Structure 1
């Protein structure tokens, strides 16, 4: 029968895990992926965006040691509750980005730039 002593390590303990160095670009991609998992958000590329390469969602990360501030620009399907979607994005990014990266997210600023009436909902139906 195994016994617990100071020399044994539980792999599930946070302090026994290695370190993780997540660069801004990696955290940016993580945040953009998290945003698209929030119901009501969609990928959006405007005509100008096709030329400049700008697409939504787009995250901007400012790191401060082992913490970060996030600004994220999103698009959402119409009809939808803009306030509710933005709040859900903020809360989900804060929780999931920390869970996936280990970086404390101090703040998440969400700006809805586009509301897309041609986007589909989660069932694949057109939302009109």
Structure 2
């Protein structure tokens, strides 16, 4: 190990350290990933949940579009999605989720039909 790594460094005051900006693309990916991990959601073909992010400063507005398993308790699953996405976005990014619109665009059976 290098001796330079063992020397403690003085940190600058918080106001002098600079800034950290987390782009909306990162928030979108976090929201999509969190929504896709909620039981009851599914992929529509190759597409998983989609998200759009808006807002400014430390507040974000989310719009999610997702598919659910059929049959599903839509309100319950959407409530779980809202809770999980809000928790993950706020924990990972530090942004506050101000609003979230959820659109269920498909209800898909767990097993593909045998006849097409």
Q: TM-score, normalised by structure 1?
A: 0.68
CA–CA separation in structure 2 for the residues paired with 1:101 and 1:91:
15
* Cα pair distance change 1:110/1:104, threshold 3 Å: same
Q: Select the structure of larger CA radius of gyration.
A: 2
Q: Relative to total residues, which structure has the larger strand share, 1 or 2? A: 2
Q: Name 1:92's counterpart in structure 2.
A: 84
Q: After TM superposition, where is structure 1 displaced by more than 2 Å over at least 4 residues in a row?
A: none
Task: Structure 2: state its 5+ residue gaps.
Answer: 1-10, 12-17
Report 1:1-128 matches (<5 A): 20-45=20-45, 55-118=47-110
- Equivalent pairs counted in the alignment come to 98
Q: TM-score, normalised by structure 2?
A: 0.74
Q: Name 1:15's counterpart in structure 2.
A: none
Q: Secondary structure at the match of 2:72?
A: coil
Task: Structure 1: state its 5+ residue gaps.
Answer: 1-8, 10-17, 121-128
Q: Name 1:12's counterpart in structure 2.
A: none
